[in-house]
């Protein structure tokens, strides 16, 4: 089981967004990196699937942002429908304003040379973001974005673990509980409060 943590604090999520949008951040990659963070914590996609997205996956032939899209995941080879929620929509608009008429076949998360961003570079970025807001980078990595979706779906929105498990395509609820960081202590505290 992957040992990285979700970003548990809503305040830290907000702080990461503000850090990426700040004047201190590399302006060339600001819109891309902001979209990577926002898309990652709002989609539950694995980093490999997120990094494989192309403009045509999220923009229709009229140049409008789609309501949703389907992706065949690399690990499970199963099709997954991804809703483009309002947070992702705003981040996409910001990105598209900066990119100015990107080619539909371009990767969304690309390097200066036009290649898609790789896992290692995404890992470095995530570590940089969490460190900038005072979190220990050794506890975070590429699974952090996906885990954050699961953690906050349950913690802040009360989504049942069964639905989170289904979305994450896990084989059991127990795997999902471990994956998103539900500890025995947390379970005990819930039981005490009932």
Instruction: Please identify every residue annotated as catalytic.
Output: 46, 75, 143, 146, 170, 179
Strand, coil or helix: 71: strand
Please name the residues in contact with 2: beta carbons below 8 A apart, sequence gap of 6 or more. Answer: 141, 143, 147, 179
Q: What are phi and psi of 133, to 5 degrees?
A: -105, 15
- The one-character DSSP state at 59 is B
Tokens of 15: 């702080």
- The one-character DSSP state at 81 is E
The Cα 189–Cα 165 span in angstroms is 22
Strands (E), 35-173: 68-72, 79-83
- The one-character DSSP state at 118 is P
Please name the residues in contact with 63: beta carbons below 8 A apart, sequence gap of 6 or more. Answer: none
User: For the chain, what's the residue count?
Assistant: 194
């Amino acid at each position: 089981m992957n040992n990285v943590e979700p970003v548990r604090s809503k305040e830290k999520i907000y702080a990461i967004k503000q850090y990426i949008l700040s004047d201190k951040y590399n302006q060339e990659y600001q819109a891309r990196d902001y979209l990577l963070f926002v898309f990652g914590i709002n989609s539950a996609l694995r980093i490999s699937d997120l990094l494989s997205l192309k403009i045509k996956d999220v923009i229709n032939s009229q140049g409008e942002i789609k309501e949703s899209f389907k992706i065949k995941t690399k690990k499970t080879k199963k099709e997954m429908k991804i809703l483009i929620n309002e947070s992702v929509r705003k981040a996409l608009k910001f990105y598209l304003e900066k990119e100015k008429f990107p080619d539909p076949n371009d990767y969304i998360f690309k390097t200066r040379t036009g290649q898609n961003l790789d896992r290692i570079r995404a890992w470095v970025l995530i570590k940089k973001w969490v460190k900038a807001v005072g979190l220990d980078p050794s506890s975070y990595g590429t699974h952090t974005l996906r885990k954050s979706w699961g953690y906050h779906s349950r913690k802040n929105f009360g989504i049942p673990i069964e639905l989170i498990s289904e979305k994450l395509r896990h084989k059991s609820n127990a795997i999902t509980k471990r994956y998103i960081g539900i500890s025995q202590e947390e379970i005990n505290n819930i039981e005490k409060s009932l």
